Structure formats: C-alpha cells, structure tokens
Chain A
Amino acid sequence: DGGITQSPKYLFRKEGQNVTLSCEQNLNHDAMYWYRQDPGQGLRLIYYSQIVNDFQKGDIAEGYSVSREKKESFPLTVTSAQKNPTAFYLCASVQTGGNTIYFGEGSWLTVV
C-alpha cells in the first residue's frame, strides 16, 4: 500500500477552476485506476489505464481527464465541466496477472 502516493491529501477548488490530483506508484504496476467516493457511497470508476499512453473511460468519466505518459504516474484532472466534484478520490494500481489492487491514501476535494 505504501507504494502508491497521492497528493495533495486535501484540496479546495473554486468554481470554474481545473485541478489536478497526482498519483505516483513505485510498485512497477502496469494498470492504474481512479475512483470517486461520495459520503456513504461505494467507489465509482472514473478512468483506468492498463498500459502507458493508453486509458479508458470508466462509469463516470464526464468532467474528468487523465494522462499516462509514464508507467508510474496517472494524474487526474477535475475540470470545470464536473459540476459536483466534491468527493474523496482514490487512485489504485495492480500488476497485470496479479491478484491484489492497491489503493493510495486518497485525496479530499472540496469546492468552495
């Protein structure tokens, strides 16, 4: 678990601003994921990437964008098009052929 680092842990965004959440892993994992969690709710998949320079939309991709230029990095941008971005964001990774998905510690995003 300690091999996935998310930053910042807390972030405040003004309406109309884009913000980027960082996710870095040193586990040499191929696949990386972004999930969103709302209070009292489960985790919903935003985007995922199975290989460098490739990514796919999850169930709630609208208003978000990602890039995967390096194996260890998968940043998430919350754009102004995301009308209700206040949530807990979790990054995760897994080694292809492996069993366990590891989560970062999460980032809290609040719109002010």
Chain B
Amino acid sequence: GENVEQHPSTLSVQEGDSAVIKCTYSDSASNYFPWYKQELGKRPQLIIDIRSNVGEKKDQRIAVTLNKTAKHFSLHITETQPEDSAVYFCAASPGSNYKLTFGKGTLLTVNP
C-alpha cells in the first residue's frame, strides 16, 4: 500500500518568514495530493491540493509543488502569520477510490 513520509515533524518560524513542509510517497499510482490544516481539537480543513498532471499550484500565500519522478511534493507558505500556526498534513491518493494515506503531520508555530 501507499506510504507517505512527512518532514519536519515540528517547524518554528518568525512571523513574515516562509515555511516549507515536504512529503514523499511510495505508490507511483497516486495522482492526487491534498494538504490539510488542523487546529487543535478540530477537523482537518483542505487548504490546497494538486493533481499529478500539474507541477505547481498557488493560492495567495500558499503553494504546492509536485515532482512525480522523485515522488515528492511540498507545501510552501510565504509571509507567515500567527494564525497559520496549526498542524499540517499531507496526503496521497490513487484517485480511483479516493482512499487517502496521510503523513504524520507537521506542527507549525509562527512566532510574533
């Protein structure tokens, strides 16, 4: 089955700096890669996703890049703000059944 590795497990940045979280996946059949933000005790919220026919996608301060050859994808947050502090999860899915496999998460702390 699919295996998703996520790094780092914790990340602390100063407000205004950029943050990068990286994930690798094992199943070459995976073609859908969402990123979720989860605040303490709440449900994960989708923040951005990318499909394997696209190499990069941006949405305001958030971007995701995908390297299919290397089987890795990354989340980039620019101009970080304290409200960006949360746990971020990457995931991968083959798409045929939308069965998501998640990474273990990254706790991002943005210091004012």
Residues on A lying within 8 angstroms of B by beta carbon are: 1, 31, 33, 35, 40-45, 48, 50, 58-59, 88, 90, 94, 96, 99-101, 103-106
Q: Which residues of chain A come closer than 8 Å to B25, judged between CB atoms?
A: none
Interface pair B34/A105, CB less than 8 Å apart = no
Which residue of chain B has its CB nearest to the CB of A94?
B98
Interface pair A31/B98, CB less than 8 Å apart = yes
How many pairs of residues, A versus B, come closer than 8 Å at their CB atoms? 52
Known contacts A42-B6, A43-B44, A101-B34, then 17 further A-B pairs from the complex at CB < 8 Å, ordered by chain A residue: A33-B99, A40-B105, A42-B103, A42-B104, A42-B105, A44-B102, A45-B99, A88-B41, A94-B98, A99-B49, A100-B34, A100-B49, A101-B98, A101-B100, A104-B43, A105-B42, A106-B42
Interface flag for B89 (CB, 8 Å): yes
Closest chain-A Cβ to B86's Cβ sits at a distance in Å of 14
- Count of chain B residues with Cβ under 8 Å from any Cβ of A? 21
Q: Which residues of chain A come closer than 8 Å to B89, judged between CB atoms?
A: 42-43
